[in-house]
Chain A
Amino acid sequence: MFCYGGNILKVDLTTGEGIKKPLDEKVALRYLGGDGFGAYFMNKIVNPKVDAFSPDNALIIAPGLFVGSGVPTGGKTAFFSKSALNGGWNESVMGGQIGLALKQAGYDVLIIEGKSDKLSYLLIDDNNVLIKSAEHLQGNTTRETAEKIKKDEGDFIVASIGIAGENLVRFASIDCEERQAGRGGMGAVMGSKNLKAIAVRGNNDIKIAKPDKMYRLIEKYYEIMINHPSFNDDGKYGTGEFLEWMNNERGTFPTRNWREGVFDGRKEIDPYYWAPRYAIKNKGCLQCTKPCGKAFVMKEFKGAIDGIEYETLFSLGSNCGIEKVEYVAKANEICDLYGIDTISAGGVVGFAMDLYENGVIGKDDLGLEIKFGDGEALLEILKKIAYRDGIGDILANGVRIASQKIGKGAEKYAVHVRGMEPPAYDVRGIKGMALAFMSSPRGACHLRSGAYALELTGKFWKYEGVDRLSSENKGKEIADMENFMAVYDALGVCKFSRGIFLLNFDEMLEASIGKKMGEDELLFIGERICNLKHIFNIKAGWKKEDCKLPDKIHIPIPEGVSKGSYVSREEEEKMLLDYFNARGWDKNGIPTRKKLEELGIKEFIE
């Protein structure tokens, strides 16, 4: 098979056994790679009923189809597991190099099950698979862990967890070469398996079906990308480039734990302020030709930092009322080194600040004062979370569980959907995204649909004239966008290229795997993948009632151009039913038999 590694590797950490099996070509063509393989193998292998931290939960890693093909920005690898935040489906996609190493080692899917009896790391060197002691790495940061393993083992690509993953912080991340699989506590699942790191080296060729054609396509898209307006904007200012626009023109930049949709103190967290001062160069994901990452150095803090993304400027910035970018940078750094998802981290700290300012918790509970805007408090709480120290032990569970433990009405300050803290889109003024938060298989998420750009600008792909303040006709739009994005996550293509490629992958598929697939065929696969994730969730106990929006989304935005906008409970219900209908699911959100037959996945419910 062209452009595939050709095998599946299953490692049981309990027994120490590794089994290599060939990848079934039919499965490859039905699911493509990445997200598709995750959907397939999670359903085949993981018992949806087990606890996320049970040895029977699996951690699955699958490079996208285009990883190692040369397709520009096609270097993404996806991680899958049961979510540590809600026990349902979880996935997280990153641009680190581990997927390429796995493919060169001959694997399209790595399945890790069981639990090691002591802290270990997994070493994969083509056919040699070893589980080695990582006791000397206990408590090390993600970066130290990778550096030490490379020093001992050689030219390996390392994915590692920090202290937060070891301590089962429910929103712990996995780091690979400064790229993170952040969301949903994938790092905690790794920690629950006593797995500190995964180190991979692959020596084999990735064969390309039509190398000349691939070369010409690379040439073509490289030109398009470096001449695209986003090349300069993202290159200069990174993903936070549109912060000011989001704040001023749309009024949907969530602020102070979702009290406001505009942040008055944003001046210095805007990349137009800090990038020219501190950024020293761009950083890109594997195989990217229009990098949006930034590396920068601040004399205030020792060392250099890889970050800060738009989402983080919200979570560790506006959501905590932080006005100094230096604090956001430092907090970002703590999150990356301790292995914490920055979005949830800021959600949790903003929540705690809100509770404090509203008198729900006091200095005695916290051990310190934590007002909005207090950068030192932000850093302190993050460390407490990573070490599960004091209040950090409660906050380390995410806002949903933390609010239940705290009681005293804390629930109404907990901003989450299905236990996951949301990213930087105040959906009170972006109603399609409110639906996307509810329908996403992993909880509040902007990436499964990627519909924010469509909603905020009104047009994308086949959609035009979309009104972000209306809750009408959102079901089909979000379902379509989810199918669209599932294709991107299966192919491993960066979502920031969606305006460039749309679904025109037939030539690139022909060049890489030797088979053309047009938009309709790809969307059908995307729909199949989305339905399979949902089936997993239903088996894990998903209920329609769990998809509720947080209370704060029912309160009108107080200021800015979206002033007065909110999502009512009726709209919430209407959009969800509209979505189920568009998906061919019944009014409780259960897929109909007919739909599953049509998609050829009936076997998964039998």
Chain B
Amino acid sequence: MYVKAIPEKCCGCLFCETVCSLWHWNVINKYKSGIRVHKKSVIEDIPSVCSHGNLCNFECIEACKFDAMKKKNGTVYVDYKNCTGCRACEKACPLNAVWIHEKKAYKCDLCGGDPQCVKFCSQNALVMEV
């Protein structure tokens, strides 16, 4: 299960970032969101979000020397008590789907099975793939 982004539909509103950070951390902070949208050109708004092994080979887990990237029921998540913010995962991820903010890694954890970004994307640019 993972959130698949369809950049051709993304309007660049960043609502996904907003709800993701609010839902997980009770604050608004785009760097704490598990999804980030970058504008590459006028027509290219590119959401980056973790594929939980579906479009990658769990490079982040492989790269982490501190046992902070973990997998449970097909979901890759950060174990915050172990994460040192060393950036190994950030560098390793082929999808640019994990980033470091204030010495901690942030990435998608699928919101316990009810992805908020999918729920609030008005353009259907994010879909659940099973």
* A residues at B contact (CB < 8 Å): 68-70, 72, 75, 97, 100, 104, 143, 177-178, 203-208, 211, 214-215, 218, 222, 225-226, 231, 280-291, 293, 295, 297, 303-306
Contacts and interface: CB of A to CB of B under 8 A. Distances in A.
B42 A281 contact: no
B61 interface: no
Contact of B23 (A68, A143, A215, A280): A215
A452 B120 CA distance: 31
A281 B14 contact: no
Contact of B42 (A282, A284, A290, A303): A303
Contact of B123 (A177, A208, A291, A305): A291
Contacts, number: 98
A104 B43 contact: no
Interface in B1-21: 8-15, 18-19
Contacts of B57: none
B100 to A, nearest CB: 11
Contacts of B14: 97, 100, 286-287
Contacts of A280: 8, 43
Contacts of B101: 203
Q: Which of A205, A214, A304 has the most CB of B within 10 A?
A: A205
Given A104-B30, A205-B32, A222-B120, A306 B13 contact: no
A306 B42 contact: yes
A289 B42 contact: no
B18 A287 contact: yes
A509 B27 CA distance: 15
A215 to B, nearest CB: 6
B32 A297 contact: no
A275 to B, nearest CB: 14
Given A69-B28, A72-B15, A281-B123, A208 B8 contact: no
28 contacts: A68-B18, A68-B28, A70-B19, A70-B28, A72-B15, A75-B13, A97-B14, A100-B30, A104-B29, A104-B30, A143-B42, A203-B29, A203-B31, A205-B28, A206-B27, A207-B27, A208-B22, A208-B26, A208-B27, A222-B120, A281-B8, A281-B10, A281-B43, A284-B12, A284-B122, A288-B122, A289-B122, A304-B41
Contacts of B28: 68-70, 205-206, 208
Given A178-B42, A306-B42, A289 B120 contact: yes
A303 to B, nearest CB: 7
Nearest to A143: B42
B91 interface: no
A69 B26 CA distance: 11
Contacts of A282: 11, 123
A218 B13 contact: no
B43 A295 contact: yes
B42 A305 contact: yes
B11 A211 contact: no
Given A208-B28, A226-B122, A281-B11, 17 more contacts: A72-B15, A177-B12, A205-B32, A206-B27, A207-B27, A208-B22, A215-B19, A215-B22, A281-B123, A283-B11, A283-B12, A284-B122, A286-B13, A287-B18, A291-B123, A304-B42, A306-B43
A70 B18 contact: yes
A218 B26 CA distance: 13
B66 interface: no
A218 B43 contact: no
Contacts of A281: 8-11, 43, 123
Interface in B26-49: 26-32, 39, 41-43
A297 B43 contact: yes
Given A177-B12, A281-B9, A286-B14, A225 B25 contact: no
A203 B27 CA distance: 12
Contacts of A70: 18-19, 22, 28
Nearest to B10: A281
Nearest to A204: B29
Interface of B: 8-15, 18-19, 22-23, 25-32, 39, 41-43, 101-102, 120, 122-123
Given A68-B28, A205-B28, A206-B29, A214 B12 contact: no
Contacts of B43: 280-281, 295, 297, 304, 306
Contacts of B29: 104, 203-206
Given A70-B28, A284-B13, A297-B43, A218 B122 contact: no
A540 B42 CA distance: 39
B103 to A, nearest CB: 12
Nearest to A206: B28
Contacts of A231: 122
B31 to A, nearest CB: 6
Given A70-B22, A203-B31, A287 B15 contact: yes
Contacts of A286: 13-14
A420 B89 CA distance: 54
A284 B41 contact: no
A100 B43 CA distance: 22
Q: Which of B10, B32, B102, B123 has the most CB of A within 10 A?
A: B123
B41 to A, nearest CB: 7
Contacts of B123: 281-282, 291
B26 A211 contact: yes
A289 B26 contact: no
A225 B121 CA distance: 12
A225 B15 CA distance: 13
A291 B9 contact: no
Contact of A225 (B12, B22, B42, B122): B122
A208 B32 CA distance: 14
A291 B22 contact: no
A291 B122 contact: yes
Q: Which of B32, B42, B43 has the most CB of A within 10 A?
A: B42
Which 9 residue pairs are nearest across A and B when measured between Cβ atoms?
A284-B13, A205-B27, A211-B26, A284-B11, A304-B43, A206-B28, A282-B11, A291-B11, A304-B42
A303 B41 CA distance: 10
Contacts of A290: 122
A69 B15 CA distance: 11
Contacts of B10: 281
Contacts of A287: 13-15, 18
Nearest to A68: B28
A289 B119 CA distance: 12
A497 B3 CA distance: 29
Nearest to B44: A304
A520 B15 CA distance: 30
Contacts of A68: 18, 28
B19 A218 contact: yes
A510 to B, nearest CB: 16
